[in-house]
Amino acid sequence: MTTTQELPPAAQQQAAAGAHLLSRRARAVPPATGFGPRPAAPVPGTIGLHGGVPGAAALPLAELSRAFAEELADPAAPALRYSVPLGVPELREWIGAHEGVDPRRVVVTNGALHALALLFDALLDPGDVVAVENPTYPLVLTLLRQRRAEVLPVTTGPQGLDVDALEDALRAGARPKVLYTIPDFHNPTGASQPLAVRHRLVELAERYGFLLLSDNPYRELRFDGGRTPDLDPASGNVLHVNTFSKTLGPGLRLGWITGPEWVVPALQDARRDSDQHTSLVVQRSVLRFLRAPGAYETSLARTRAVLAQRHEALRAAVRRELDGVVELPAVDGGIFSWGRVLDPGTDLERALEVARQNAVDFPLGRYFSPAGPHELTDRFRWGFSDLTPGELDEAVHRVAVALASPLARR
């Protein structure tokens, strides 16, 4: 996203002159990059440890290309027509079977972020309390700010959300309307909730009357291929959001919501009043890919193998270049590692400035904090999914040089 400060002077003047025409909400909400300000002109050859993208080597490019070509080869061009707000029935059926719910409880969306925005519009009024993990996915905080919700941070650690801290807050009188959580390979920490924690979350939601919103795009990416059951969809207090962005590619913009049947009409109305429907070309082409015997499972196996190799390459580079300098726990899947600088004399903000001059970039931990920028100042997130082992080696070396610089000291 281009900020006003990055525009040429004439364009800055035009932007300032027209700012009073924006809505109050647009004026009040800052640009949502999710990772804070970045240089207007990155150093050529910069390696970004930002993650979020599976990487071309992990995706079924040939299979998707064939599916799209076959779909568009039909001379009647059914894929180029309008669709319906809830999604193509056949795709809803596939998702329902995949998620273990009735297809009538499925809504197809333009990716997971769109799904979250639709749900927040359907569920939240200004002033409603939403509990979120601390740290959490920063664009969710932007969505909640836009809807003037109150945020209740809940500590998150190696075992995921601290359910004891949540229960203490509930006993003390906290009454969230929604709890937003990322159960598997959490963004940014990479942690996964044990099954016992998931059961307790559902029990607390039913006892205290709040909704559990499970955002689980990394669930399929466990390196060994295993899966822990998501928050129980049989509960009337549980909603799920998921996406093909981390398995088939974010450019598809194809995700979904599953939830109680009472929420579906509100989501359908929201689609009719806004974007109408998800691309029919994408829905039908991806469905064609999914229906090919073994295609999705084979693709997932390749994705997991690529991610496991890159995760190990990152860990090996850290052991070689940054042993005793940073702590970077291993993860069992997903695309992120959550690190900590061990020396309290290191100023990570300054270190990042040096790193950017050294042609490597990554998001600081404080950008993931719902409690404000004063927290998580010794933390950082590294995404390893979109970089080759050689690029990861070089990125870690450049970070090591930056952390050793006198300019990185407090």
Closest CA relative to residue 314, chosen from 335, 297, 294: 335
Q: pLDDT value at position 188? A: 97
Q: Report DSSP state, residue 42.
A: P
Q: What is the pTM of this model?
A: 0.91
Q: For residue 22, count CB atoms less than 10 angstroms from its CB and return exposed for 0-12, middle for 13-18, buried for 19 or more.
A: exposed
Q: pLDDT value at position 273? A: 87
Mind listing the pLDDT tens digit of every residue in the chain (410 residues)? 445 555 566 656 665 566 677 777 666 655 444 455 566 678 999 999 998 889 899 999 999 999 999 999 999 999 999 999 999 999 999 999 999 999 999 999 999 999 999 999 999 999 999 999 999 999 999 999 999 999 999 999 888 999 999 999 999 999 999 999 999 999 999 999 999 999 999 999 999 999 999 999 999 999 999 989 999 999 999 999 999 999 999 999 999 999 999 999 999 999 998 889 999 999 999 999 999 999 999 999 999 999 999 999 999 999 999 999 999 999 999 999 999 999 999 999 999 999 999 999 999 999 999 988 889 999 999 999 999 999 999 999 999 999 999 999 98
Handedness of CA 232, 238, 239, 243 (dihedral sign): negative
Q: 152 - beta bridge partners? A: 131
H or E element at residue 368: none
- Segments making up each domain of the chain, as ranges: 4-59+298-408, 62-291
By DSSP bridging, strand 360-361 and strand 129-134 are unpaired
Torsions phi, psi for 128 (to 5 deg): -65, 145
CB proximity list for 155: less than 8 A, separation 6 or greater:
133, 134, 161, 162, 165
Closest CA relative to residue 32, chosen from 120, 158, 117, 121: 117
Distance from C-alpha of 107 to C-alpha of 265, rounded to nearest angstrom: 10
Amino acid found at 15: A
Q: pLDDT value at position 197? A: 96
Handedness of CA 322, 324, 325, 328 (dihedral sign): positive
Handedness of CA 226, 97, 51, 239 (dihedral sign): negative
- In CATH, 62-291 is 3.40.640.10: yes
The CATH architecture that domain 4-59+298-408 belongs to is Alpha-Beta Complex (3.90)
